[in-house]
């Protein structure tokens, strides 16, 4: 059951949430809609479910135009960020809700609900109320509830957004495994690029109501189509008109033609990796990702002068506004020295 | 927090609050109970079991039986409209619903009198069709519905706002249509707000005097509810009857409140 959206647009008052968005999600895939808040990703997901009506464009599920169909007839499973658990129902009743609506008989409902509760590892908790569950358990219950009716497609709106870091990571792995078993076409909205890359095979990057780029995690990382994708997917430094990944920075203590003079501002050890923050002569702040061994060899100290040589750089034509990449900033538009030496190699 | 002066001022405030309530609310009620049973149980009992007394009780219960369901259905519907369907007319509806709170019941009675009276806008037409509103049960029902209209709406609106729309949206993605969503998700979630509104509506309808007094004509054994009965007994110096009926009214209202609390506690347990 593939999902397509063609030319979707949606406006809330003065805010253009979706601006002529078209996407294609192949049958059986697990796709992430990735973007910052306000990029339109949740609106797009809700429009696919029929929870939002589009001003223009259409939604196709399995090549059928469902734009005019009400939500309850679209057969989509939907998981909300804040669980949307039915508070007055037990876990059993929550999961069985869709089946009861479909008038299944009691014995069949009980079988199916228990099967699903085993799948989401909640089998002992059927008689609990949602208020007696942890956040992670509630979200798994919500997932079981969505899956109970065997939806054509599964839509998850920031499903792990309200959970703490450890539970998030566990559920990511779990969702990926679940998808490998069920093969239901799944779209999953997140603002967390690491989460998107971890869970999904396909990514669609959105920004300001438009699709910036779609592809695999590798494609987005290696061949970003726009400035926005470059800085949103993965870490990036900006040197004038050029972008360079922090792990593509070569640091040396010897003065070297074509290298930028920079002062070490801060050294942050992050386990195996070390993050070294520099400030260039013109005030630009950049950082380099080194291994512990590299750092020890260089014997870098805070306040020391070093020379940076960017490896692969990338530049984009046009003046697309760039979001703040981590540690990257440009205090002013043009640099009079040094800039010319950082040449595009990509 | 735990200082001596803090404790003293807390106890001071409590005493003040309780004293105020006792003086204004409890003492008059206690006095009525005391006066009612001063000469034993038979005088008040005789008064309320008299034909006029029983008829007044019946009529009061009839008002509750009609006005409360009407206002409950209307109130929940209206609250849904106000909270779930945002449009410009909402602020007007919101203001209009408060009218019965803002206007004195006597004025409400008078306005109904003007509308349905022999020289009113609708009175003559309805009269020709054989429908008498004034000085009969229909008029009293209209007055009761009018004065008790806002309670269910006012109690339901905040609860509806609080539960949000996500549970309802989840129900629709699971295949529930609008009615099924309301029946199985919205209504159970707002039921205690509605229940509280129902209790308040019941108490208001039982106790209504001003508006009903004007439109009913207050004929004993015909168009006399319990509060009107109390007034008439009091005017005729039959204090036993007046106090007896008053206590009955208080007990009826307290019973509804108590019934709700028992139900709620049973469910919370």
For the stretch A110-156, pLDDT in tens is 999 999 999 888 999 999 999 999 999 999 999 999 999 999 899 99
Which site among B165, B173, B184 would you substitute to test the A interface, given the most A Cβ atoms closer than 10 Å to its Cβ?
B173
Give the model's pLDDT for residue A64: 94
Q: What is the ipTM of this complex?
A: 0.80
Give the model's pLDDT for residue A317: 62
**Residue A3 in this model has a pLDDT that exceeds 90:** yes
Q: Which position has the higher pLDDT, A45 or A334?
A: A45
Give the model's pLDDT for residue A333: 34
Chain B partners of A74 at a C-beta cutoff of 8 Å?
A: 173
**Distance in angstroms (rounded) separating the CA atoms of residues A130 and A139:** 10
**Residue A323 in this model has a pLDDT that exceeds 50:** no
Are B167 and A87 an interchain contact pair (Cβ–Cβ within 8 Å)?
yes
Per the CB < 8 A criterion, the answer to whether B163 and B142 are in contact is: no
Chain B nearest-CA distance from A190, in A, is 18
Report pLDDT digits (tens) over B196-211: 999 999 999 998 988 9
**Distance in angstroms (rounded) separating the CA atoms of residues A118 and A100:** 19
Q: Which of the four pLDDT bands, split at 50, 70 and 90, describes residue A326? A: very low
**Residue B216 in this model has a pLDDT that exceeds 70:** yes
Report pLDDT digits (tens) over A271-311: 888 899 999 888 888 888 888 888 888 888 888 888 888 88
Say yes or no: B182 contacts chain A, CB-CB below 8 A.
no
Chain B nearest-CA distance from A158, in A, is 14
Which site among B170, B177, B180, B192 would you substitute to test the A interface, given the most A Cβ atoms closer than 10 Å to its Cβ?
B170
**Distance in angstroms (rounded) separating the CA atoms of residues A280 and A328:** 12
Say yes or no: A221 contacts chain B, CB-CB below 8 A.
no
**Residue B180 in this model has a pLDDT that exceeds 90:** yes
Q: Report DSSP state, residue A319.
A: -
Query: What's the whole-number mean pLDDT along residues B108-117?
Result: 88
Most confident of A36-45, A234-243, B133-142: A36-45
**Which of A218, A247, A248 has its CA nearest to residue A233?**
A218
Give the model's pLDDT for residue A345: 35
**Residue B268 in this model has a pLDDT that exceeds 80:** no
**Which of A24, A17, A57, A56 has its CA nearest to residue A40?**
A17
**Separation in Å, CA B211 to CA A97, B111, B229:** 47, 9, 15
């Amino acid at each position: 059951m593939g999902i397509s959206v063609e030319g979707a647009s949606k406006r809330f008052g003065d805010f253009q949430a979706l601006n002529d968005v078209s996407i294609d999600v192949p049958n059986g895939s697990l796709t992430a809609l990735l973007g910052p808040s306000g990029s339109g990703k949740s609106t797009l997901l809700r429009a696919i479910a029929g929870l939002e009506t589009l001003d223009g464009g259409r939604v196709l599920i399995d090549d059928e135009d469902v734009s005019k169909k009400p939500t309850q007839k679209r057969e989509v499973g939907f998981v909300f960020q804040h669980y949307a658990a039915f508070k007055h129902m037990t876990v059993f009743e929550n999961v069985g809700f869709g089946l009861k609506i479909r008038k299944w008989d009691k014995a069949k409902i009980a079988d199916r609900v228990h099967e699903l509760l085993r799948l989401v590892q909640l089998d002992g908790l059927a008689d609990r109320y949602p208020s007696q569950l942890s956040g992670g358990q509630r979200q798994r219950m919500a997932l079981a509830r969505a899956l109970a009716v065997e939806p054509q497609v599964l839509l998850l709106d920031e499903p792990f957004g309200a959970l703490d870091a450890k539970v998030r990571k566990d559920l990511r792995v779990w969702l990926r495994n679940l998808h490998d078993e069920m093969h239901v076409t799944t779209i999953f909205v997140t603002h967390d690029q690491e989460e998107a890359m971890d869970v999904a095979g396909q990514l669609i990057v959105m920004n300001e109501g438009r699709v910036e780029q779609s592809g695999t995690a590798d494609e987005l990382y290696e061949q970003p189509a726009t400035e926005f994708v470059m800085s949103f997917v993965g870490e990036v430094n900006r040197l004038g008109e050029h972008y360079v990944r922090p792990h593509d920075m070569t640091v040396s203590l010897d003065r070297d033609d074509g290298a930028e003079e920079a002062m070490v501002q801060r050294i942050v050890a992050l386990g195996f990796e070390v993050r070294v923050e520099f400030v260039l002569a013109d005030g630009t702040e950049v950082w380099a990702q080194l291994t512990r061994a590299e750092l020890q060899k260089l014997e870098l100290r805070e306040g020391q002068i070093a020379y940076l040589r960017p490896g692969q750089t990338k530049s984009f034509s046009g003046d697309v506004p760039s979001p703040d990449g981590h540690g990257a900033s440009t205090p002013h538009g043009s640099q009079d020295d040094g800039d010319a030496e950082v040449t595009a190699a990509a | 927090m735990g200082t001596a002066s803090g404790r003293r001022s807390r106890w001071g405030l409590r005493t003040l609050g309780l004293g105020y309530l006792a003086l204004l609310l409890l003492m008059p009620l206690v006095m009525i109970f005391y006066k009612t049973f001063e000469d034993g149980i038979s005088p008040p009992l005789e008064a309320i079991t008299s034909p006029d007394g029983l008829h007044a009780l019946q009529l009061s219960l009839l008002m509750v039986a009609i006005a409360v369901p009407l206002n409950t259905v209307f109130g929940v519907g209206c609250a849904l409209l106000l909270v779930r369907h945002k449009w410009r007319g909402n602020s007007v509806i919101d203001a209009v619903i408060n009218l019965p709170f803002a206007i004195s019941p006597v004025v409400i009675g008078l306005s109904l009198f003007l509308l349905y009276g022999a020289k009113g806008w609708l009175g003559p037409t309805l009269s020709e069709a054989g429908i008498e509103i004034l000085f009969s049960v229909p008029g009293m029902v209209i007055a009761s519905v009018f004065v008790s209209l806002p309670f269910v709406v006012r109690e339901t609106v905040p609860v509806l706002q609080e539960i949000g729309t996500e549970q309802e949206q989840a129900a629709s993605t699971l295949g529930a249509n609008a009615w099924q969503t309301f029946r199985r998700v919205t209504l159970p979630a707002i039921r205690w707000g509605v229940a509280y509104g129902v209790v308040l509506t019941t108490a208001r309808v039982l106790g209504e005097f001003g508006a009903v007094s004007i439109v009913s004509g207050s004929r004993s054994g015909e168009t006399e509810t319990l509060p009107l009965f109390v007034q008439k007994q009091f005017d005729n110096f039959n204090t036993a009857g007046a106090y007896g009926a008053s206590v009955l009214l208080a007990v009826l209202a307290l019973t509804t409140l108590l019934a709700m609390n028992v139900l709620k506690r049973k469910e919370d347990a």
